[in-house]
Structure 1
Amino acid sequence: MPEEVVLVTGVSGFIGSHVAKLLLEDGYKVRGTVRSLENTAKVDALKALVPDAKHELELVEADLSKEEGWDSSIQGCTVVMHVDDPFLNGPEIEVEVEVDEQEPADAKEEMVRVLKKLQESSVKKIIVMSSSAAVVAETTPEADKVYTEEDWSDPESATIDPYSKSKVLAEKAAWDFVKELPEEEKIELCVINPAFVLGPALLESHKGATSMNFMTQVMNRAYPAVPRISFAICDVRDVAKAHVQALKNPAAAGHRHIICTDTLWLREMTTTISKEFRPQGYSVPTGQLPYVLCWIAAAFNRSMKSFILPRIGKQFKFENKRMVEVLGVEPTAVESTLHDMVYSLVDLGILRKAKKYKQVGSRAEIPSVNGEVEDTPEKEGEEEKKEEEGEKKELEPEDKEEKKENEPEEKAEEKKEEKTEDNKEKEKEEAQEEKKEEKEPEK
């Protein structure tokens, strides 16, 4: 088993905890950075991730924005997995998106600060978690374009958001720093560029993560319908595997690696979730929010205007060739990613447990920490009935147009039938009059 010490920055985060868990299961000595050791609940939960691990998880205090703690964190390490991100795995991507306002310059400075510390240490390899936002962050994709590791977001673009800009500048700073190192001080650099990261959470403390906010809004039906936007997604377990494989495989050094399962419309995602959880008492929005309502909302909502509206009807496609062929990571099925995530959130108490919840998710062995919802079965039934009626009323624009086009034809048919009936009555009356006239001369 590997005896080298691997440092995982941001080990308590959504992605960092999965990376540490996988390393511990593989027998590595793992040291993880947290911003504070005083949160005993979080510390204890982290140390319990792999109860039968060969080596106990070591935790140290270190903050990206501060100088203190990094010397002791790095001491004796040969590999660093730099997973720490003040905003976890992305901007606040929700149905109502809150775009992070982190200063790009800060992200760049934080990256250089860490790399300078590594240069002075025994570290020989660093695996940096960047983002697909560093590959492309424009609001409009190039026609029929499939983005690869060769593509870069333009940090000077007028449409790039602050978060994406910070990821581009931080990653570029890492590549430039390593490139300029003297040969005798060279550090191997490998970069992981995940798409929007979803999948099961490991800790209750992950409830504040971007991905959790997104899923809790969907499951709590924060909105009656969803806008026609798409997300390139990946599974957190695949991201963790990519980090470990990048450590083991020499071919990963000096390269970027996009981690992506597929690009899906938000409505496809909520429909997949609804099929699994609606029978269990959850009301998940599957209707389409008309463009005109998004346009009206944009006048009052900054996120709708800056993030959602420009992306309506557009899809960004990513190639995951290096993920599969070099790192040997086969993408997890979308259904498993979405379903396991919801089950984990319920089992951890981040989401309410409905009365019909059957607790069969990826963390089914862990008792739910929150009680049943107060809603009665009758109320749940009423909610489902209302949702069904609401969805029946919702029509896609093309459905409305088709109905409108068919209306004149239907009315014409109705008039034709009315005219035919009138003619029959008239003919009947005329025949009766003729018979009456024929009888009168005989008298």
Structure 2
Amino acid sequence: MTPEKQYAIPRGATVLVTGANGFIGSHVCNELLQLGFRVRGAVRDVERCMWLSKALESQNPKGGFVLVSLPDMEKEGAFDSLVEGVSAVIHVASPFSFSSNPESVIPSSVNVAINALKAANKSPSVKRFVFTSSAVAAALPKPNMSGIVVTADSWNTHSVGIAWREAPCHPQRAWHVYAASKVEAETAVWKFNYENIRRRYDLVINTVLPGTNFGKTLDVVNQGHPSTSSFIESLWNGTHLDRLASIPPQYFVDVQDTARLHVAGAVLPNVRNERIFAWADTFNFDTVLGILRKHFPEKNFVDNFHHYEETSTASELRSRASDLLRQLGRDGFVPLEQSVLLNIEDQNMA
């Protein structure tokens, strides 16, 4: 564990977390509270998210969490009052759409990211800004293609080209539009940093690029199995298999490790202007099914259907992220087997 005196911001300082009610955001809030920080959790509707306060208070009796309203992230100045007095901003929230129209997705993603960053840049109390990007901002999964090495300088320009291409329309254009929105939002963050670093040399920016998130939901009653944690639920129930079959093998990460790496970007002094890759290891759904069969031999699962593997490598990036987790007192990444079991813990008890 990093000693308190070595944190980049004082323990007990307030951190703003946007998208606090989401799969990743709720765990970010919890990890911060457990380290002794105060958290200002921004959500669209405070009344509908009161469950989050109760869930976090049950795990953190000392308190320190408060919900704040952020109904329109694109509105100019929307973040200004929220960043007052905070020492760090962890910007997890992002407009989500699988529209195939780039004009309805990409500019909005960029605007929200820069809107949050501008507010942080204007507030002298803010010393750290962490932006949630995505694995697809660096590279698309390329199963069974050897020799591909992903580095901190890797960018998924392929999806950007397809997203903005007028014709012919790519059959998976919506997926590429989503990926392109992550590329363009993250590059806009780094561009803003470069253009303003002299004025705010004391503001450190880091980005986190999570792979496919599995693991335990903070509050399964109110959140269910959100985002990609639904993949494991589908395998458990044998549903939506066509959708799963269309998803290529790629890198996974346990959601709590994703949250911890966001915290690392906010509080560890040796993490400065980095792209942090939350990539624990590769997976395919056949491997996940093998884990489920091993632990639940009495239950019938679907036959294997995912007969190929992600073969790109990112050894240095994964090693760096694992080291950051150790600096926060962990043993490195949560392994796939443990993450899968955490993901279906409530299903097994049902």
Which TM class, normalised by the smaller chain length?
0.7 to 0.9
Gaps of 5+ in 1: 93-97, 291-311, 347-356, 360-371, 373-443
| 2:186 paired residue number | 171
Q: Which moved more, 1:124-133 or 1:163-172?
A: 124-133
* Residue of structure 1 in register with 2:108 after alignment: 106
Q: Deviations over 1:137-193 (max 9, x none)?
A: 265775322312221110533377111100000000000001101523232101111
Q: 1:325 to 1:287 in 2, by over 3 A?
A: closer
Mapped to 2, the partners of 1:162 and 1:277 lie a distance apart of 39
1:100 deviates by: 10
Unpaired runs of 5+ residues, structure 2, are 5-10, 163-169
Superposition TM-score, scaled by structure 1 size: 0.65
Alignment of 1:35-54 (within 5 A): 35-39=44-48, 41-53=50-62
Tell me, in whole angstroms, the C-alpha distance in 2 between the residues paired with 1:223 and 1:156: 28
Correspondence 1:214 to 2:206: no
Partner of 1:157: 161
**C-alpha distance in structure 2 between counterparts of 1:340 and 1:3, whole Å:** 30
User: Cα RMSD between the aligned structures?
Assistant: 2.8
What is the alpha-carbon distance in structure 1 between the residues aligned to residue 122 and residue 231 of structure 2?
A: 40
Give the drift of 1:68: 6.2
1:192-243 deviation line (CA, Å, top 9, x unaligned): 1111111100113322622233222212101679749413101111111212
Asked if the contact 1:192/1:242 (under 8 Å) is kept, the reply is: yes
What secondary structure does 1:250 align onto?
Answer: coil
What fraction of aligned residue pairs are identical, expressed as a percent? Answer: 24
**Aligned residue among 212, 216, 221 for 1:196:** 212
Q: Deviations over 1:283-319 (max 9, x none)?
A: 32233279xxxxxxxxxxxxxxxxxxxxx66544433
Asked if the contact 1:12–1:42 (Cα under 8 Å) also holds between the matched residues in 2, the reply is no
1:324 has 2:283 as partner:
no
**Corresponding residue of 1:408:** none
Aligned-partner residue type, residue 295 of structure 2: E
Contact 1:134 1:165 in 2 (8 A): yes
CA–CA distance in 2 between the matches of 1:110 and 1:236? 23
* Mapped partners of 2:196, 2:294: distance in 1: 53
Say which SS state the counterpart of residue 147 (structure 1) adopts: coil
**Counterpart selection for 2:140 from 137, 140, 148:** 137
Q: How does 1:341-380 map to 2 (within 5 A)?
A: 341-344=343-346, 346=347, 357=348, 359=349
Alpha carbons of 1:314 and 1:21: their partners in 2 closer, same or farther (altered >3 Å)? closer
TM-score (norm 2): 0.80
1:80 to 86, 89, 105: 89
Contact 1:78 1:125 in 2 (8 A): yes
C-alpha displacement of 1:246: 2.3
User: Is 1:5–2:21 an aligned residue pair?
Assistant: no
Name the structure 1 match of 2:165: none
SS at match of 2:155: coil
Q: Kindly indicate whether the alpha-carbon contact (under 8 Å) linking 1:198 and 1:234 is maintained by their aligned counterparts in 2.
A: yes
Instruction: State the aligned residue count.
Output: 316
